[in-house]
Structure 1
């Protein structure tokens, strides 16, 4: 039995009264959580959702995300998590590309009308048949024909046994642009996800008596595997944080005696800055007394920030590496061995890594080349994209597109990226997504999107634009236009209008000369 949801069923049997989820003042034990999941699973079956069907899920870090995610798993369907910041056309693309037959969407509010965006995308996708709305308490009526997630919770049958799944059956489809192009769905198997959760539990020494905190979005691969699935596997409590606000996060860590946390470097910077400026010494000391491990990923952690955080919170910070195509965790520094600041550590057990040159030959230790990964964490492939898959996974080796070097002890250091992905505050931004959107603007003749350094977010997206003849759009107007059409983390806040772009003889834009 490889169904990921059996980890929840196991804890509902063996530790039913232990706390599974903490959200503000609400605590949900494993027995209650399992019954909620069963209620939604039964309702999904009533809609005709069957094994291998794709069901999209757009929801912030609230109990409904966990409930919806595991309900989809229970019926043997495939979860397609969506970033809650996606706008209507982006949602439509993901629904259509994944063949989603249903979408479960948080209603949102005036500040973030995610439900409105999702229904817009749903309305543009005839193949997606069912819209399930998670009411936010705003009092807004549901869209016509939508199902109520909250009513399902109150009225669904609470008995359901997880559908049998094979190891190789698809568990989730996580959208990423990989090394090139528009977003592609990385198909991850039940075995991929289970093995990654087990590896993360062993890596962090997480037990049922521990308390972890989800400050990373659970729709993202990092938060999903390393935080949510690992906590459900370990039987530990999970504190849900829907929006990262340093003061609130530290309060929750103090109140609930958090032992395990994970975040991207910008989150560590935010927590450190708040603790130093506003934190009461006795509260910080109590947080430090409970905290066992802090995990950083998504981008390189500045060594100085790592040292300051360790000193302030009296906790080891372990850095790692992964990508959607590797489920995601592939390498980490280990608690029981030397942690080398600036390094992503060593491969996980069962995972092999090698560094190769342009000719594909393995390079000696110390030389920089492309990182290749092989092991239990490598994806099945990109959904419905065999040619893209064949370029990315060759003879079982996943080509990451990252330039690394490996020292004599097997520690890996990221040197640069072959791919053009921009990492803004832990979110991946793919230039082509922005470029294709802006090429639909009537005034844009040509565009190149690059990443530029940003002191808070690490990188920021910048668009360099050539306007069509006689066009009059200003940079400010183009920024506003992009904001209406692209997710808030994605639209370029910096736009420069130029007369020409540097190009090769074959007409390829030389983006490196724009930086």
Structure 2
């Protein structure tokens, strides 16, 4: 029997007084997180929710998240974490699609009216029976949107006998961003999630005297959930919660809390470095491990970080469907900047073509993955599952290469590839080259429709502060530094680029 909630329960037994969560001035010990999670589990059981039922959670990085997440798991139910930026119509879709019986929803703020959207989404999903509000005011027992969790937990026992789930019972349903069609829910088992946390814990060296994790990646997303919250709790670390990424604030928390472990996406590293160079902010020296994933880091950012912080960024790779970690630049082997390392313990990777045939040598090819981290399938979608799974292998939709030592590099998303005049152009390669220019701070390259070439290449660029380069000058420079069929024919300067809640650049909004 196996239940993912053991990552919390075990630390609550071993270090009940150890700080589990830091949020503003709050310091919450492991024993308290476990107690509130027990009350949540008792509440669910009292409302007729148990093993195999689905419960949705819409909440930013606040202490509520682990309270509710682990309470749902203890009850034997499945957590369905929702992106906090969803609109009401999308919330209703996720509740319907996942067959959620209940929704725990943060009340929201004027900038993020989540309570209002959540309530409307709940009203539009007839199958969802219970709505619990996570109030913005700590311990408030009333809310205009419905029953407050604190009122509902009144009188609930603080002890709970965790439901014994089977290793392949579904622990979490993670919705993929749905760049094509409607979002699909990847079903991840207790074994998928727990094994991924155990291996992440083993892979990242721990700090003498204990670790402090900065949780700025959204916990509703697989990367923040497994690598920060679950791995942090597993090793009894303190997890510092940050609801919205702000580079100056992240650096200040690293300094004040002596953060030893940071996981982020490349745009976060880029933003922190930009802040340090522009504003002369003090560089935190407590950091021992810096991990990047979610997208490939520009090599210029990797170099700058190592020079500035004195440690390298370790890059890994994975997807919601792989729980998420699949490969990593692992301790004990040389890290190769610009690669996503080698497959983690118990996982195999290979390159395939469009017909699932293995591509030998360096590739490029589509990355396929097999191992203990692969999802059970997309919830309620056997056809979609069959498209991406075969003989235990999962095809990722990412194009990669593999060097002689078995290190993988991500070339690009298959669907981001630009076909210009019959030539395949990978945007990431052009972004890397553009970022070597001193006037270019960040670049995103996309294909735009063109009558004779099929697609033309366009670059969106954020300039470095104070630089006055023109579009013509940058295009001329690119022409001298890239093959004739590759260089961008159009450049548009922007002050910012559209990003997802997890900090990935939204190319579909630029096309």
Q: TM-score range by the shorter chain?
A: 0.7 to 0.9
Report the Cα distance in structure 2 between the residues aligned to 1:73 and 1:61, rounded to whole angstroms.
Answer: 18
- 1:109-258 matched pairs, under 5 angstroms: 109-137=109-137, 142-143=143-144, 146-153=146-153, 155-176=155-176, 180-206=180-206, 209-258=210-259
Q: Are the equivalent residues in 2 in contact too, given 1:39–1:152 (CA < 8 A)? A: no
Q: What is the match of residue 83 of structure 1?
A: 83
Q: Are the equivalent residues in 2 in contact too, given 1:292–1:316 (CA < 8 A)? A: no
Change beyond 3 A, Cα 1:307–1:492: closer
Q: Are the equivalent residues in 1 in contact too, given 2:141–2:150 (CA < 8 A)? A: no
Q: Are the equivalent residues in 1 in contact too, given 2:317–2:326 (CA < 8 A)? A: yes
1:221 CA drift (Å): 0.9
Q: What is the match of residue 102 of structure 1?
A: 102
Q: What is the match of residue 320 of structure 1?
A: 316
Report the Cα distance in structure 2 between the residues aligned to 1:451 and 1:398, rounded to whole angstroms.
Answer: 31
Q: Are the equivalent residues in 2 in contact too, given 1:180–1:419 (CA < 8 A)? A: no
Q: What is the match of residue 372 of structure 1?
A: 368
Q: Are the equivalent residues in 2 in contact too, given 1:179–1:420 (CA < 8 A)? A: no
Q: Does 1:414 align with 2:420?
A: no
1:22 CA drift (Å): 0.5
1:451 CA drift (Å): 11
Could you tell me which of 334, 338, 344 is aligned with 1:338?
Answer: 334
Change beyond 3 A, Cα 1:17–1:234: same
Report the Cα distance in structure 1 between the residues aligned to 2:412 and 2:17, rounded to whole angstroms.
Answer: 48
Q: What is the match of residue 306 of structure 1?
A: 302
Please, what is the CA RMSD of the aligned residues? 2.9
Q: What is the match of residue 506 of structure 1?
A: none
Q: Are the equivalent residues in 1 in contact too, given 2:141–2:151 (CA < 8 A)? A: no
1:142 CA drift (Å): 2.4
Change beyond 3 A, Cα 1:324–1:453: farther
Could you tell me which of 354, 358, 366 is aligned with 1:358?
Answer: 354
Q: What are the superposed Cα offsets for residues 362-388 of structure 1, whole Å, 9 maximum, x if unpaired? A: 222212111110000000000011111
Report the Cα distance in structure 1 between the residues aligned to 2:244 and 2:371, rounded to whole angstroms.
Answer: 34
Q: What is the match of residue 434 of structure 2?
A: none
Change beyond 3 A, Cα 1:327–1:343: same
Unaligned 5+ segments in structure 2 are: 418-426, 429-454, 464-497
Could you tell me which of 372, 390, 395 is aligned with 1:394?
Answer: 390
Change beyond 3 A, Cα 1:412–1:125: same
Higher mean C-alpha displacement, 329-338 vs 51-60:
329-338
Q: Are the equivalent residues in 2 in contact too, given 1:6–1:162 (CA < 8 A)? A: no
Q: Are the equivalent residues in 2 in contact too, given 1:326–1:377 (CA < 8 A)? A: yes
Please give the secondary structure, in 2, of the residue aligned with 1:61: coil
Higher mean C-alpha displacement, 302-311 vs 154-163:
154-163
Q: TM-score, normalised by structure 2?
A: 0.81
Report the Cα distance in structure 2 between the residues aligned to 1:291 and 1:393, rounded to whole angstroms.
Answer: 39
Q: What is the match of residue 41 of structure 1?
A: 41
Q: Are the equivalent residues in 1 in contact too, given 2:397–2:414 (CA < 8 A)? A: yes
Unaligned 5+ segments in structure 1 are: 424-448, 458-482, 497-514
Please give the secondary structure, in 1, of the residue aligned with 2:143: coil
State the number of aligned residues: 440
Q: What are the superposed Cα offsets for residues 26-56 of structure 1, whole Å, 9 maximum, x if unpaired? A: 1011111111111221112111111110000
Please give the secondary structure, in 2, of the residue aligned with 1:419: helix
Report the Cα distance in structure 2 between the residues aligned to 1:7 and 1:489, rounded to whole angstroms.
Answer: 27
Q: TM-score, normalised by structure 1?
A: 0.80
1:156 CA drift (Å): 2.6
